[in-house]
Amino acid sequence: MSFSEYLSTYLKDNKISVTKLAKTLDVERTTIYRYINGERVPKDVESVDQIAKALCMKNDERSKLFKEYDKAVLGDDVVNSYIYLKDLLNGLNNAVDIPPIHFSIIPNDEPKHYEYDTNFTPIYSTGAIKSFVGKMLREVLASKKTNRYVKTIMHPTNKDINGLLIPFLGGTDIRLEQIVCFEKMFEKCYVNLEILKNVIPLSFSLKNYNAFYHYDNLESHYNSMSILPNLIVTNSEALMFDHEGQSGFYSSNPKVVKYFSDMFDKNSQTCFTLLEKGNDTNDVRTMNQALTSTNPGTLFNSPCLAPCLDYSIMKKRICNFPQKNKLIDSLIYQYGDWNGSEHIGNKYVDFFTSFCTKNGFRYFVETGRVGEFPEFFYEPFTVEERINVLKRSIIMIKEKHCEYIIAKDGIALPDKIQLYYNKDEKTVAFRQISKNKLLQISVNEISVFNTVVNYIEYLKMKNLILSEKEAVDFIQDLIDNKFGEAD
């Protein structure tokens, strides 16, 4: 529904005339008619706010009005990218704090009222499908086989069933493989983020997880191209069901199970690898080099301050571990070195972008900690080192070596999940950092990068970020107000 359609429908549903609204707003009736006929939109958000107040809209109605106005001005893809990426980041950020779920959440009631057939057992309800899934998961867990696996094709990804996989497979050597369907239409690619919201937590949480994707038109795929698009197959059982999870069939016949397992393997070979995982410091260092090789960007609460560190600071603060010197050398190679306030040495990365918040800078000032590294990785920076780093960030901005896009107060970004992207390679990675863990998931799919670009574009067009001058003044004020005596 467009802005004009929503406004027109609201007036009709609430029996409000164009004349009355025009009189309340003190505008010509023709102006309101142009709004509801789609000939024009209000000139700014203040005008939209006046319409919402004149109509005494409730909060959800106001939100809908502003959302449709943004779509009319900025475009559907920009607004939807912002909404979906924000939802994805919040979901991943919150998932970090979810405690381990007890295994008892897996349905343990034996599927009833079904006559088991050697080949196929028909299923006619959502509850029965979940019970069969529970039965299959319990049996693969109890199996003594050395190569245990669960293979799934989810079109779409089923949140309820995916929610069973983490507590069930976590801490085991059972291999989980998934094939998912991605939207191929560029203007609708933001819906792929909804799929990522279900699969990325699996990659973060499970030891042995692989995901593959292929392209299709999601709506046609769900509704007409496949009657039973969802498949779960283990070493000894197979289950297929429809996209709504209401009907399907189950089989434990070895020949049937092998057929579907082989079918999965064949299909996965024609798909693309969706995720690459680094789960130790060396893996993440290697992945980070590829991601930040030319034109990198970051999006999370804390500013990316690694380019403002010098060799001496890193040598002193980074804790000893086998790959320490290689990590420092790679950072110096990427960003160059510093001699006081002078940027020295050759650097491979000529320009980088850090999308962050004011609170992220404030946190660094208060604690001496940067967002790129987990706490176990280094000691907090001293006051003198913090001052130097902040001054260097200002120099980097002024010399056009970086762009610190600082969101205005009120804009929240995740602090437990970090998003990295490369503008040249059009790649994206999600990094999970805690006090004692560092994991990174690289997503090999271009539409995800496009939504990141649209997300930032949305905030720029809505004037929700600081200008370059405002960013420099903000950082300088932090130095003056917090470290005035020490400087």
Shared-domain flag, residues 311 and 348: yes
Q: Do residues 268 and 289 share a domain?
A: no
Determine the residue type at 107: P
Q: Please indicate, yes or no, whether residues 197 and 317 belong to a single structural domain of this protein.
A: no
Say whether both 208 and 156 belong to one domain: yes
Is the pLDDT at 218 greater than 70? The verdict is no
Long-range contacts at 163-166 (CB < 8 A, ≥ 24 apart): 164/105, 164/106, 164/133, 164/134, 164/137, 165/137, 165/202, 165/206, 166/101, 166/201, 166/202, 166/205, 166/206
Kindly report the number of other CB atoms within 10 A of residue 329's CB atom: 12
Residues 431 and 469 in one domain: yes
Q: What CATH number is associated with residue 237?
A: 3.30.870.10
* pLDDT exceeds cutoff 70 at 458: yes
Q: Are residues 474 and 396 in the same domain?
A: yes
Our CA angle for 299, 404, 326, nearest 5°, is 70
- Identify residue 278 by its one-letter amino acid code: G
Q: Which of 273, 299, 331 is the last residue of a domain?
A: 273
Q: For the segment 173-194, what is each residue's pLDDT rounded down to a tens digit?
A: 899 999 888 887 767 778 888 8
Kindly tell me if the per-residue pLDDT of 100 is higher than 60. Answer: no
Helix (H, G, I), strand (E, B) or coil at 274: coil
> Average pLDDT of 214-232?
64
pLDDT score, position 287: 55
The answer to whether the CB of 349 falls within 8 A of the CB of 335 is yes
Angle of CA points 144, 150, 151, to nearest 5°: 150
What pLDDT is stored for residue 414 in this prediction?
Answer: 86
Shared-domain flag, residues 390 and 424: yes
Q: Is the pLDDT of residue 245 over 90?
A: no
Using pLDDT thresholds of 50, 70 and 90, give the confidence band for residue 332: confident
Pull the structure tokens for residue 153.
């094709």
pLDDT value at residue 195: 85
- Considering the domain architecture, whether residues 253 and 297 belong to the same structural domain is answered as no
Question: Where do we find the tokens 């529970």?
Answer: 134
pTM: 0.80
Q: Among 27, 52, 73, identify where a domain stops.
A: 73
Lowest mean pLDDT among 309-323, 423-437, 467-481: 423-437
Q: Are residues 198 and 220 in the same domain?
A: yes
Q: Write the CA distances from 280 to 42, 318, 323, integer angstroms.
A: 52, 16, 11
pLDDT of residue 114: 46
Average the pLDDT over each of 57-66, 98-107, 201-210, 478-487 and give the range with the smallest value: 98-107
Per-residue pLDDT, 277: 79
Residue 291: pLDDT above 70?
no
- Please count the structural domains in the chain: 3
**Would you give the DSSP letter of residue 318?**
B
In this structure, are 240 and 267 located in the same domain?
yes
Closest CA to 405 of 449, 370, 353: 353
Instruction: Quick: pLDDT tens for 391-449.
Output: 999 999 999 989 999 999 888 888 888 898 988 888 898 888 766 667 888 887 888 89
Token digits of residue 217: 């038109």
Tokens 């005596």, located at residue: 485
Per-residue pLDDT tens over the stretch 267-287: 899 888 888 877 655 555 565
- Whether the per-residue pLDDT at 224 is higher than 70: the answer is no
* In a domain? residue 98: no
* C-alpha–C-alpha distance, residues 245 and 126, integer Å: 5
Which CATH number fits the domain that encloses residue 9?
A: 1.10.260.40
237, 162 in Cβ contact below 8 A? no
Convert the pLDDT of each residue in 152-177 to its tens digit. 987 656 777 777 787 778 778 899 99
The vertex-255 CA angle with 253 and 258, nearest 5°, equals 105
Query: Alpha helix (H) ranges present in 318-413?
Result: 324-335, 358-367, 383-398
pLDDT of the residue at 487 = 41
Record the tokens describing residue 260, joined without a space: 């579907």
Last residue of a domain, one of 245, 273, 301: 273
**What local confidence, expressed as pLDDT, does residue 118 receive?**
55
Residue 91 lies in a domain: no
Q: Among 172, 123, 181, 151, which Cα is nearest to 257's?
A: 151
| 122, part of any domain | yes
User: So what's the pLDDT on residue 113?
Assistant: 44
User: What confidence score (pLDDT) does residue 285 get?
Assistant: 58
Residue 416: CB partners within 8 Å, gap ≥ 6? 93, 96, 97, 432, 433, 434
DSSP states of 191-234 as a string?
GHHHHHHHHHHHHHH-SSEEEEEEEE-HHHIIIII-SS-EEEEE
In a domain, 83, yes or no: no
- What pLDDT, on a 0 to 100 scale, did the predictor assign at position 474? 96
Is the domain of 322 the same as that of 186? no
Domain with 35, as residue range(s), is 3-73
pLDDT mean over 78-91: 90
3-state secondary structure of 60: helix
Residues 229 and 163 reside in one and the same domain = yes
> Helices (DSSP H) in 336-436: which residue ranges?
358-367, 383-398
- Mean pLDDT value across residues 296-325: 90
Residue 84, domain member (yes or no): no
* DSSP type of residue 465: B
Task: Specify the pLDDT at position 10.
Answer: 94
Please, what is the Cα angle at 253 between 110 and 211, to 5 degrees? Answer: 80
Residue pLDDT, tens place only, 8-48:
999 999 999 999 999 999 999 999 999 999 999 999 999 99
Q: Are 487 and 479 in contact (CB under 8 A)?
A: yes
256 pLDDT higher than 80 = yes
Is 352 a member of any domain?
A: yes
Q: Give the mean model confidence (pLDDT) for residues 40-65.
A: 93
Per-residue CA distances from 384 to 170, 302, 378, 487 (Å): 44, 19, 16, 8
Let me know if residue 193 belongs to a domain.
yes
Q: Examine residue 61 and state whether it is found in any structural domain, yes or no.
A: yes
**Structure-block tokens of residue 471:** 């960013």
pLDDT at 305 over 70: yes
